Structure formats: structure tokens, C-alpha cells
Amino acid sequence: MANGLNGPRRAAASGAARSLVVLLHGYGADGEDLIGLGDALAGVLPDAVFIAPNAPEPCRVNPMGRQWFPISWIDGCSEAEMNAGFAAAADLLQAWLVGAMAAEGVAPAATALVGFSQGTMMSLHVGPRLSEPLAGVVGFSGRLADPAQRPVSRPPVLLIHGDRDEVIPVAALDETRAGLAAHGFAVRWHVSRGVGHGIAPDGLQLAARFLAERLGSGVAAPA
């Protein structure tokens, strides 16, 4: 793919691509880690193309995986290096996203971001930088990387977090929700009980409903 990012793609199940869902993986994983969500969501989003780009860098603590940016408290990089990596990744992802929408022939209003952990940080940062609002952003087990960022657009957001998350504590959900609300975002949220740092069935069902609503699939999501 253009702009230095590549990763798995699932064509629209209906054969007619009318929307795009971009799946952004977490630290130490890659696009293959999330592309399976496309199979799980295709039933309620038959007209959606799913793309799961690989982050631009090999993960420093897991060379078999990828990272969007280094994390100082995990790999020992400096704060300045972490911030610079985050800024560079955000620019790269934004350029790639614009190109992906053009390549698939869909508008921002027919595009959604779904992130997990570090991928949620990227989604919540890059989505609001676009001049035209996306259909929505779903963030699993993440947080705002830059609460001070002033949004250009305000896509609706769904936040989902496990109450036993050992990597990013569930308190990050309230912090993220408050930070987004302070900038005028419409935010929904859900806490998955007994769930750690992962995506549970209840959270995935809520994400399916939200995406079907925002992308107008016309197919009923599971109750």
C-alpha cells in the first residue's frame, strides 16, 4: 500500500464496497492480529472493506511484531523519542488513511476506525485531525495519547475497556471519556466485566451495533 503501510485486506462480503473499516492493532502485534474482526463483523457490515495496516516499525521488545511508536516505560526509550515517534506515526497514518479512502472510493463519512490499545491511541488522535468527520471511532483498551489536541472534526466515539485490564487500567476509560467530552465529542462507553487487556464478546457486539448504525448497513446487529 501507499505511504509505507501495508497489511491484510478483506473485500466487502457483498461484493459492493460502500464503506471502509480500518483496524489498528496494538503494540507488539500486527495487522493479522485484528483482521479476523473483519470476518466477525462482515455479517452486519456486508458492504464494508476491512483493512488492518501493519504499524511502521518493528517492535523493540517483540521483533516479530510491530509498533506505532516506542513506549518509554516498556522499552526504555526517552520521552522525547516516544513523542517524536508518535507524531511521525500519526502523520504517516493520516496520509495512508486519506490514500486508502481514495483507493477504495469511499468518503470519510463512510469510514470508521477501530483500534486496540496503542491502535486506539492512534485512532483517537488521527481520526479527529481529518477535516471531514469519519463515521465513527471504536477504541478498545486504550487512552488519549494527547488530551490537549484540538480537534478539526469530531467523529462519534465508542470506548470499550475491561475492568481487569492489567496493561492500561480501566480508569483510563473515564479519563479518555472526559477528555473527549471536554472537546465536544459524542462519546459512548462500556466496561466489560471480568475482562483483561483484550476484546470480549460483549464489547465486540456493542462495536458491531455502533458500526452498523454509523455505516448504515441495513443489517441488524446481534442483540
Confirm if 156 and 211 have CB atoms less than 8 A apart: no
| Residue 174 confidence class, pLDDT cut points 50, 70, 90 | very high
Tens of pLDDT, residue by residue over 124-133, are 999 999 999 9
What CATH number belongs to 2-6+10-215? 3.40.50.1820
| Residue 105 confidence class, pLDDT cut points 50, 70, 90 | very high
Res 216: pLDDT? 79
pLDDT > 90 fraction of the chain, expressed in percent and rounded: 90
Res 63: pLDDT? 84
Tens of pLDDT, residue by residue over 60-91, are 898 899 999 999 988 889 999 999 999 999 99
Residue 151, C-alpha cell as written in the block: 480537534
Res 218: pLDDT? 44
Could you tell me the CA-to-CA distances from 51 to 9, 22, 83, 141, 146 in Å, in that order?
Answer: 4, 5, 26, 20, 25
The answer on pLDDT for 47 being more than 60 is: yes
pTM given for the model: 0.94
Res 3: pLDDT? 54
3-class DSSP assignment, residue 172: helix
Res 73: pLDDT? 85
Specify burial of residue 129 (Cβ count, 10 A radius: 0-12, 13-18, 19+): middle
Phi, psi of 160 (to 5 degrees): -135, 135
Q: Which of 33, 26, 21, 22 is nearest to 141 (CA)?
A: 26
Compute the distance between CA of residue 212 and CA of residue 8 in angstroms, rounded to an integer.
22
Domain ranges of the chain: 2-6+10-215
Q: In sequence order, what are the residues at sequence separation of 6 or more whose Cβ sits closer than 8 angstroms to the Cβ of residue 173?
A: 143, 159, 161, 189, 191
The answer on pLDDT for 97 being more than 60 is: yes
Q: In sequence order, what are the residues at sequence separation of 6 or more whose Cβ sits closer than 8 angstroms to the Cβ of residue 56?
A: 4, 5, 66, 68, 88, 89, 92
